[in-house]
Amino acid sequence: MIISMEYLEDQFDLPDFDLKQYSPLTLAYLGDAVYEIVIRTVLVRRKNAPANKLHHQASALVKAEKQAEIAEKIGPLLTEEESSVLRRGRNAKSHTKAKNASVADYRMATGLETLTGYLYLQGKTERIVDLIKAGLGEEL
């Protein structure tokens, strides 16, 4: 399980915060890590394999193209608030550019990562997992 927000707040005496004040790109920064830990955890728990093999499997699922595909698939499942967060992330002006993805895929992937970071900071880890599972279907 991803570390609970309550536990982190307690252990590190984290201050109260207003989630709406966070930049979409800051949320995407966190969401990227959360998304990857979910993917890696599932892969490792499903099969004890060499790290290189796991890395290749994970890479195929965390690349911008796949994340954009997931974002499109889960769109109808999102609440109005979640859709708004994803849209904010997608439309954020990033100073980095896609290495191996189209600009459209990169921006949509950033939207998914923004939503993931937003949900994580709300402590909604089950919602994150449900959305990733719905977006990947049988692929994971």
Catalytic residue among 13, 18, 32, 130: 32
* 32 among known catalytic residues: yes
In contact, 64 and 100? CB cutoff 8 Å: yes
The DSSP string of 33-93 is HHHHHHHHHHHHHH----HHHHHHHHHHHHSHHHHHHHHHHHGGGS-HHHHHHHHHHHH--
In contact, 96 and 54? CB cutoff 8 Å: no
Residues involved in catalysis? 32
